[in-house]
Structure 1
């Protein structure tokens, strides 16, 4: 019997990634759009706070356990920006391409290009869960000078993977899941769910 979990995102790319990452478990991942869950103000100051806000909101409206992801890219030369504002860096309704184009403009002429993706995953059994399972992981790399690659989503075309000459958008889905901040955070989250007897 598979357990239904609502995924607190409207991002189709993330829904696909989660379904792949959880394919081996008796879990049915349902997008929050199926329950008419509106987006919620992400007014936390950290990835953890924002992930909890989103998971609580989705669990309350759907009546199901919820997983939320808050992730973004931190660029050292920009003091960690865009950080929690990654998805709306170029404006509230900005596309992924507008966001990374703004980042490339800001990074012009910058020698220090190190950066990392951060991902926080939160699992809440219900909206009032006092002890959510929280997993956080990062993925090191650097910002390219121009976009490369057709895969992935978000900032993947401008994120060169550490120790590789390819961007995240040039990796296959399997390669990305093995290396990425989200793949690593999911492994940690699954460990936490097993420890709590949820899996």
Structure 2
């Protein structure tokens, strides 16, 4: 559209500068072309602004919908990370390790972030890569749950060596720390957006 506007402007300028040699029909044609290009440009920009506004409205509504879930997940991941860091205090006590493992597993399963792909896509207009941060945090939590598997505390203490247990604990702790940091920023972004748009502004619709 910008290229068409520039070409039309050049044609119009050329015709005006050579008005003595050109019939008025050429001038009118150039004016019509220029006007059509301006109108097309205006309509395109107007549609883009409208689309961005609709995308941001949808992102705001989804952020407000997910905010309680993200807030809960944030606190539970923080608890999980603190729990994982207490592993070294168990001092290889079998019963304490069994209880610790069951607590880790229960806390992980209770996080319950459960964000759909459509919801992630809706959040893409939000600042600071909020959607990508949320996708990464969800993947980290899922990875902890996957590696925990269906094992019970007895398997943790009786089937795995001390080195294996230490490796798993270190991996889970790193995942939980990164997820905690991501969810902290996501929570702030969603709260900021939901606070700015607590209600629909006049003219906000889902129509085009």
TM-score range, shorter chain: under 0.3
- Which has the higher relative contact order, 1 or 2, with Cα contacts under 8 A spaced 6 or more apart? 2
TM-score normalized by the length of structure 2? 0.23
TM-score normalized by structure 1? 0.24
Bigger Cα Rg:
2
Per residue, is there more strand in 1 or in 2? Answer: 1
